Chains A and B, each alone.
Chain A
Amino acid sequence: MKKKFLFIVLSISAAVVLFSCKTVSSADGLELSAHPKVVNYNEKKFNSEFNKGNFSKCAGMLLSQSIGENSIIKQNLDIALLEHFAGYYKASSEIMNKTDRLMDEAVTKSITKSVASATLNENASEYAGTPYEYIFINVFNALNYYNDGNMEDALVEIRKINNKQKEYSAKYGEVALKKESIDSKEITDADIAASFFGVNVAALKLKSPSAPTENDVFKDSETARYLSMIFMKMSGDEGNARVDYDILKKMNPAFNAYVSSDDKKGNVSFLTFSNLIGKRYEQNIYFPGDVLSGIFTVNYSIVGYGENAMIMLPLLSDNIQIPAFRIKFAYPAFDKTCIEKKVNTVRVSCDETGEILYLEKLEDFNDAVAKDVKVKGSKAFARSVVRSLTKKMAAITAGTATLTTAAEAFDGVRKNGSFGEQMLYRLAYASAYASVVAAIEAVDVSETADLRQCNYLPGESNAGSFNLAPGVYSFTVDYLDVNNRIIKEDKIKPLEVRAGQTVLVESECVN
């Protein structure tokens, strides 16, 4: 009795500790006086404020949220970017510095992981950030420091980018293209399940997204290189500025990256961010509906058509029928062509000289998302297949046992019981049947693709520069739609241009 009591106490304590510390406040550990005012989150209001460009209010709403520990990095990135666009540079820096270290640890684990577990749903695992977020966090943090007048710390961020390029981006490519080894026991379980369901695995594999190639691996960012080039020039490091220029030229040959150095003139370089990065979506494949040609029918029938087609297993002994079911496989997908683009062109005019400059496209951030999805798609599909087949098999087996047990328990009643007793049996059996249906369907409901990403990165960056005689100048940045209508006009406050020096101006239209 004592041992049993002790066991119960220890089990409950462990469960309480495990589950009671799972959520954290988004504002935990932050110097709140530097951040926008925390307000209760309301989805409708959030979207309304975002569309109006009130990024500080949006950040304040996200700060009020409690989130799972696994989502800290994603939440922090969202808040930090909103704060950046709202001009809360110190606040944004605080979160970005904290998140950079978290990503550093998470990324280290992801590239040293040797065997993956397919049964763990990706959405339940810690969000480590994507390779491009790992670089962009330092791009925007560099801009945080620069806009706050702290060139030295801005250069620290640039050095971090360069270190990450060297140490992580190269390694990530190897890991991303390497064939993933899933736990061998899980593969065996999935093979057994596939054989039971009569799945032609070869036909199912044809439905898989194609495996990634070297070209699909995100390695570098044009915006990061441009920023590095500009900041190196500003700090007098012409050597490293030249290296960045050469790399940028190779990455984006169409972009005129040249920033001239002139003893008599000063340079004003513009870096703008427009539109919002696209979001990945979930692509589903259903068996048998989407893989009809792959079935080796094994004594069961198919009911329904298309993606709603279901497997109906033969009756068990005592006329017990397992509910009809289908098997869902899910993986992340991305379609760049479906993304709404409000801003088509960015134009800068110098108020004093009347000079007009159409900024060239520097980077399409959606390319990074497309690459990330391409790299992860086929592996996510393979894991989904293993996971779904195994879990569905387990649910069917458990359901069979439940219904058989229910039938056997009331065997006598079923055959010889009174009307009342038989009604009770039918109710009990119906309840058991409903729970089996729910358990089998729950496998599909829980099978979801990992669509997590930072939502507030911009869709594009544009850049260009003016060479001007020393003096004070004002500029206007116009964001134009496809019909050349001005969506947003950003008036840049007067800035001083000095001979032989470069000034960087950042502007955005992401809402």
Chain B
Amino acid sequence: MKKYVLVILAFAASVALFSCSSTKVERVDSEEVVDMDGYWNDSDVRIVCESLINDCVSSKTIANYSKVNGRAPVAIVGKISNDSDEHIDTSIVAKRFQNAIINSGVMEFVSDKFEREELREERFDQADNASEKTAKAIGNETGADYMLLGSIKSIVQKEGNKSVRAYFVYAELHDMESNKIVWSGENSSIKKIIKRPSAKF
């Protein structure tokens, strides 16, 4: 009998110890779609960027620019504004866009506003401290031809424990000199139906 009591106590203790304190981690492929809570996630970034990037690199205006000017256009990443009802880090979208387009060779990118400040600071420092041979020239930056701007918007409908979230992502290339919009892309393929539990155990 004593043996049984000891076994029961040991079992109960181990259940308490392991049921409340263990963390499980499972590595998955980065392409795998995992929707935890119905809000904007990494899969949405990937889906949206793929479609917009494909649209951008196949744009006739960009292709024509290379033919007319003999070089790929230079772009700068401007503001991708978050006009939705949830907190989204739009810099991830902007960076992904930029990387894909650079790697495609269709356009070149120059540093954005914040990166430029840092580079200029370094150049001034080089002017004072680096050798004449190695110091980089001031006033020799490449001006951008286009600026990439965009926004993320959302529409939410809710009824009881069901809600529908639809996202609209817009991206545009604006001519830096004429303000013309030379390319405009839209992705509205992200739409989610979220059903929350209506009773709790």
Of the candidate stretches A107-115, A203-211, A222-230, A274-282, the one touching chain B is A107-115
Closest to A152 in B: B82
A126 to B158, CA, bound (A): 22
A311 to B61, CA, bound (A): 91
Residues of B within 8 A of A112 (CB): 160-161, 198
Restricting to B58-81, which residues have a CB under 8 Å from any CB of A?
81
Restricting to A92-117, which residues have a CB under 8 Å from any CB of B?
97, 101, 105, 108-109, 111-113
Restricting to B1-29, which residues have a CB under 8 Å from any CB of A?
4, 7-8, 11-12, 15-16, 19-20
Instruction: Indicate if the CB atoms of A17 and B84 lie closer than 8 Å.
Output: no
29 contacts between A and B (CB under 8 A): A5-B8, A9-B8, A9-B11, A9-B12, A12-B11, A16-B16, A17-B15, A17-B19, A20-B19, A20-B20, A21-B20, A97-B87, A108-B160, A108-B161, A109-B196, A109-B200, A111-B160, A112-B160, A113-B198, A153-B87, A155-B83, A156-B82, A156-B85, A156-B86, A156-B87, A159-B83, A159-B84, A167-B157, A167-B158
Q: Which residues of B contact A (CB under 8 A)?
A: 4, 7-8, 11-12, 15-16, 19-20, 37, 81-87, 156-158, 160-161, 163, 196-200
Q: With A17-B16, A20-B20 as known contacts, state yes or no: A163 contacts B82, CB within 8 Å.
A: no
Residues of A within 8 A of B86 (CB): 156, 160
A113 to B82, CA, bound (A): 34
A381 to B119, CA, bound (A): 69
Closest to A5 in B: B4
Q: Which residues of A contact B (CB under 8 A)?
A: 5, 8-9, 12-13, 16-17, 20-21, 97, 101, 105, 108-109, 111-113, 126, 152-153, 155-156, 159-160, 162-163, 167-168, 171
Residues of B within 8 A of A159 (CB): 83-85
- Max chain A C-beta neighbours (<10 A), residue from B4, B82, B87, B197: B87
- Max chain A C-beta neighbours (<10 A), residue from B7, B12, B20: B12
Residues of A within 8 A of B84 (CB): 156, 159
Q: Tell me, rounded to whole Å, the shortest Cβ–Cβ distance linking A334 to chain B.
A: 28
Instruction: Indicate if the CB atoms of A167 and B156 lie closer than 8 Å.
Output: yes
Residue from the list B15, B85, B198 in contact with A16, Cβ < 8 A: B15
Residues of B within 8 A of A12 (CB): 8, 11-12
Closest to B158 in A: A167
A13 to B16, CA, bound (A): 8
Nearest 3 CB-CB pairs, A to B?
Answer: A112-B198, A167-B158, A159-B85
Instruction: Indicate if the CB atoms of A108 and B156 lie closer than 8 Å.
Output: no
Q: Tell me, rounded to whole Å, the shortest Cβ–Cβ distance linking A153 to chain B.
A: 6
Q: With A21-B19, A156-B85, A156-B86 as known contacts, state yes or no: A163 contacts B156, CB within 8 Å.
A: yes
A8 to B4, CA, bound (A): 10
Q: Tell me, rounded to whole Å, the shortest Cβ–Cβ distance linking B44 to chain A.
A: 16
Residues of B within 8 A of A97 (CB): 87
A176 to B168, CA, bound (A): 35
Q: Tell me, rounded to whole Å, the shortest Cβ–Cβ distance linking A393 to chain B.
A: 28
Q: Tell me, rounded to whole Å, the shortest Cβ–Cβ distance linking B165 to chain A.
A: 10
Residues of A within 8 A of B11 (CB): 9, 12-13
Instruction: Indicate if the CB atoms of B87 and A109 lie closer than 8 Å.
Output: no
A156 to B196, CA, bound (A): 22
A113 to B196, CA, bound (A): 12
Closest to B85 in A: A159
Q: Tell me, rounded to whole Å, the shortest Cβ–Cβ distance linking B162 to chain A.
A: 9
A225 to B12, CA, bound (A): 54
Q: Tell me, rounded to whole Å, the shortest Cβ–Cβ distance linking B60 to chain A.
A: 33
Q: Tell me, rounded to whole Å, the shortest Cβ–Cβ distance linking B27 to chain A.
A: 22
Instruction: Indicate if the CB atoms of A8 and B158 lie closer than 8 Å.
Output: no
Residue from the list B4, B158, B198 in contact with A109, Cβ < 8 A: B198
Instruction: Indicate if the CB atoms of A160 and B158 lie closer than 8 Å.
Output: no
Residues of A within 8 A of B82 (CB): 152-153, 156
Q: With A97-B87, A167-B158 as known contacts, state yes or no: A16 contacts B197, CB within 8 Å.
A: no
A427 to B48, CA, bound (A): 79
Q: Tell me, rounded to whole Å, the shortest Cβ–Cβ distance linking B131 to chain A.
A: 40
Q: With A101-B37, A105-B196, A152-B81 as known contacts, state yes or no: A20 contacts B156, CB within 8 Å.
A: no
Residues of B within 8 A of A171 (CB): 160
Residues of B within 8 A of A152 (CB): 81-82
Q: Tell me, rounded to whole Å, the shortest Cβ–Cβ distance linking B47 to chain A.
A: 21
